[in-house]
Structure 1
Amino acid sequence: MIKKILIGISRHPKRFLLAIAFGYASLWTVLEPIFSIANLKTTGYNCPYLICYILISLIIGLIVIYPKRKVQFDLKNTNTKVEIEFGDLFATTGHKVISASEFFDSKIGKPVSPKSLQGIFIERVLGGHANILDDAVNSQLAGKHTETIQRIDGKTLKYDIGSTITIEHNQSIYFLFSLTNTDYDCNANSTPSLMLKALDGLWNKVRTEGNGADINLPLIGNGLSRIGLPPSQLLQLTLISLLKAAKERDLSSTIRIVLTKDMFDKIDLEIIKNNWQ
């Protein structure tokens, strides 16, 4: 909690001081007439009263600047509401989005890191049965444009960026979309322009198969995607893509972006909300 308080103060120092001053002035304005009307004698207790005023004002200031863990706002001129919160993507209610490479690799290890969302999805949700992912790719992307590329490990069939498949599990639909290129050594990489192209493909699939349900997605482009933008800009880029897609045609009623806890000191949700509402 102390770390979060320090983060809040560092982000909004002026607001913190103004909140303390406003709290002190408000307390004085409200309580002094009450003391006078009730004929309460404060003489001799000036120091304790002053300390109480300052402590209460400090608490008010801390409440005002304490970082938000969740915000929500409506995308202007669309039927889509955006929620951004910190938490576990796999614990959310609704459909979920996971990024993959253009090869849709399924082997845990060299091609798919066990620490990536795709790796966690294969092991936790699919129970390690990577063939479920392979079958979905083969059936749903049959006939799509492909290239055959030899690499040190993993699959050799390369799909276009933005290609998206769905896998149903436990009353949820998981949207897996190709976001990154991978080199011969299976190292992933992408760019802002590729990210926007990939998101266009994702939104098209969400529009046709999401059935209007809540869609939960992580911070697209973070981590192993190596897009090269800080987390706050990645979030803004996702929102820009979402706004464009929602204006073209209705998407889901609620798009929820779920951030990992290590993003808490890197993204100020209040600033994001103020920029978009």
Structure 2
Amino acid sequence: MKKLLIGIRRHLKRFFLAIFFGFTTLWAILEPIFSLLDIQTKNYSCCYLIGYFIISLIIALVIVYPKKKVKFGLTNTNTKVEIVFGDLFKTTGHKVISGSEFFDSKIGKPVSPKSLQGVFINSILGGHANIFDTAVNTQLAGQEIATVQRIDGKTLKYEIGTTITIEHNQSTYFIFALTNTDNDCNANSTPSLMLKALEGLWNKVRIEGNGIDINLPLIGNGLSRIGLPPSQLLQLTLISLLKAVKERDLSSTIRIVLTEDVFDKIDLEIIKNNWE
């Protein structure tokens, strides 16, 4: 019911037009048929009118019901973008997860168990943070830009956009540095840092993605504290992606997986119409 109300609110004019045209179309089609078949409707005209209205209302609700999935091509590229509501970890293909510039792995503080990185370490890696740490130490040896003494967490700091990969269950997980963290392990970022981070991510995907579908969450939402509404975060990701694929192909399909908590904040139909 909530989703229906969202659809009606977003497309109120379309909703009433659908009812009107549905009603008039049913009348124009069925009344001549009833006449040809000699079906008497005079004594039941009120019932028929109510029936027309109910059918028209159902048609209108179907038309305005919010889309949960859209797909479109980026102009003059070989890349398709698919935006869906679902679970990132249940998608097919490689997956993207954001983290801080320290690539922390300790669950609780500094890595929230509710974050995608926390879920990845706890659920996908079975709580074996050493797998994560080994990937960081092996792949980023010598790339640290500073050593910072912190109350909790790791001390080696890396460039925003730095990306590591972890192979697990026939998928490659791309973990990239999106946020800065303060001494109390609170993450924060900005739109400009987000664009820089995505540029580093796309470069890594281009090298190690092998053209396989890439699945990423709504980058910058939640604990990243970028300060933009979900719809603008999505647009920023698409702008960054378009720039990247214009320079060189990334993957045939980039899938952005949204969570249900932003359902009422992002109209996928508008996004598709703006980018097709």
With structure 1 as the length reference, what TM-score do the two structures score?
A: 0.98
Aligned to 1:107: 106
Aligned to 2:126: 127
Aligned to 1:69: 68
Mapped partners of 1:40, 1:197: distance in 2: 70
Q: Deviations over 1:189-224 (max 9, x none)?
A: 000000000000000000110010010000000000
Q: Deviations over 1:234-257 (max 9, x none)?
A: 000000000000111001100000
1:1-277 → structure 2 map (5 Å cutoff): 2-277=1-276
Mapped partners of 2:151, 2:113: distance in 1: 18
- Residues 163 and 175 of structure 2 are in contact (CA less than 8 Å); yes or no, is this contact kept in structure 1? yes
Amino acid at match of 1:151: R
Mapped partners of 2:174, 2:144: distance in 1: 19
Q: Deviations over 1:107-157 (max 9, x none)?
A: 001110000000000001111111111111111111224201111100000
- Deviation at 1:40? 1.5
Superposed CA RMSD: 0.7
- Segments of 5+ residues of structure 2 without an aligned counterpart are none
- Residues 144 and 156 of structure 2 are in contact (CA less than 8 Å); yes or no, is this contact kept in structure 1? no
Mapped partners of 1:270, 1:62: distance in 2: 15
Mapped partners of 1:223, 1:81: distance in 2: 26
Query: Segments of 4+ in structure 1 off by > 4 A?
Result: none
- Residues 100 and 181 of structure 2 are in contact (CA less than 8 Å); yes or no, is this contact kept in structure 1? yes
SS at match of 2:8: helix
Mapped partners of 1:212, 1:18: distance in 2: 44
- Segments of 5+ residues of structure 1 without an aligned counterpart are none
Mapped partners of 1:11, 1:150: distance in 2: 50
Q: Deviations over 1:74-128 (max 9, x none)?
A: 1111111011111110011110000010000000011100000000000011111
Amino acid at match of 2:146: E
Mapped partners of 1:143, 1:38: distance in 2: 85
Amino acid at match of 1:202: L
Mapped partners of 1:26, 1:147: distance in 2: 70
Mapped partners of 2:199, 2:28: distance in 1: 56
Mapped partners of 1:251, 1:30: distance in 2: 51
Mapped partners of 2:192, 2:87: distance in 1: 27
Identity %: 79
Amino acid at match of 2:91: T
Amino acid at match of 2:74: L
After the TM superposition, which of the residue ranges 202-211 and 36-45 deviates more from structure 2? 36-45
Mapped partners of 2:209, 2:28: distance in 1: 55
Mapped partners of 2:198, 2:47: distance in 1: 59
